[in-house]
Amino acid sequence: MYSYEPPKASDLSIRDLKQLVQTGEGKYLEFKRIISTPEKIAREISAFANTNGGTLLIGVDDDLSIVGVESYHEQEFLLEQAAKDLCSPHIEYSFEILPFKKREVIIAKIKESQKKPVYMRSENGKRKVFIRIDDKSVRASRETERLMKKSQSPVGVTFEYGPFEQKLFRFLNEYGKITVREFANLVDISRNQASHKLVDLVSAGVLSLFNGKRYDYFTFSKQDKEEK
């Protein structure tokens, strides 16, 4: 028999909530006035799960005003649909409520997934990967997605120091960072080949991948810089 357990009452006070809201949205915090459809919230929670986790406040507007929701029941149902039906693997989260002026503010804490990437199924049926950059949930690059997959593999990554790597390291020593397109042009290979080579070097600990709002780029890893 199905038994429903009501959500936990939040330990936050109204004062704590107001202080949290005043910090504004960021890498670990997202505001939603209301969840209208599971598709619209799946992007945000999958991005949190693919990054470092985060907190979703439902009943808070973009202008930092706390408005609450009339009832948590529908919001809880839509969030559950997004986390279980539209995200793969399923997203783990906690769901808490805080009474506010005869309404309720929902505090959903999204856990970082141990199995990445977490895919979100869009309305047209295609699977997409999102990550959190600053206060935005953005589509992950091909390289970020590949790196997530490699991080789940028990097989270590090795590479050969050949002519491509020589040119790459010389470029990095001079300019500090490089994009996939720049590397592909540098050594005259396809973008796909360049992508795989750079991701392998990140997996081997030689390079680091940085996600930017406009484009991703690669640098020597911190450890590698220190050794040099």
* Two structure tokens written together for 194: 């360049």
Delineate the domains of the chain, giving CATH numbers in brackets. Answer: 8-140 (3.30.950.30), 143-227 (1.10.10.10)
Instruction: Report pLDDT for 151.
Output: 81
- Looking at residue 60, its pLDDT comes to 97
Q: What is the pLDDT of residues 38-94, one digit of tens each?
A: 998 999 999 999 999 999 999 999 999 999 999 899 999 999 999 999 999 999 999
Q: What is the pLDDT of residue 155?
A: 65
- Checking if the pLDDT of 5 tops 60, the result is yes
Using an 8 Å Cβ cutoff, are 17 and 98 in contact? yes
Cα separation, 226 vs 20, whole angstroms: 38
- For the chain, give the percent of residues with pLDDT over 70: 92
For 48-62, b/e burial (b = at least 16 CB within 10 A) is bbbbebbbbbbbbee
What pLDDT is recorded for position 212? 83
- pLDDT tens by residue, 199-219: 999 998 899 999 987 889 999
- Give the span between the Cα atoms of 57 and 106, in whole angstroms: 6
What is the rounded CA–CA span in Å between residue 211 and residue 58? 27
Q: Looking at the predicted structure, is the pLDDT value of residue 148 above 50? A: yes
Q: Give the per-residue pLDDT at 94.
A: 94
pLDDT at residue 189 tops 60:
yes
**The pLDDT value given to residue 185:** 98
Q: Quick check: 92 and 80 in contact, CB under 8 A?
A: no
- How many angstroms separate the CA atoms of 68 and 72, rounded? 9
Stretch 176-199: mean pLDDT, rounded?
97
| Count of CB atoms situated within 10 Å of the CB of 71 | 11
**pLDDT, position 17:** 96
CA atoms within 13 A on the CB side of 166: 2
Whether the Cβ atoms of residue 47 and residue 117 lie closer than 8 Å to each other: no
Give the pLDDT score at 226.
44
**pLDDT tier at 227 (50, 70, 90 boundaries)?**
very low
Give me the mean pLDDT over the 138-152 stretch: 92
Mean pLDDT over all residues of the chain?
Answer: 91
pLDDT at 157: 66
Averaged pLDDT for residues 115-126: 88
Query: Is residue 139 within 8 Å of 129, Cβ to Cβ?
Result: yes
What percentage of the chain exceeds 90 in pLDDT?
82
Is the separation of the CB atoms in 105 and 137 below 8 Å? Answer: no
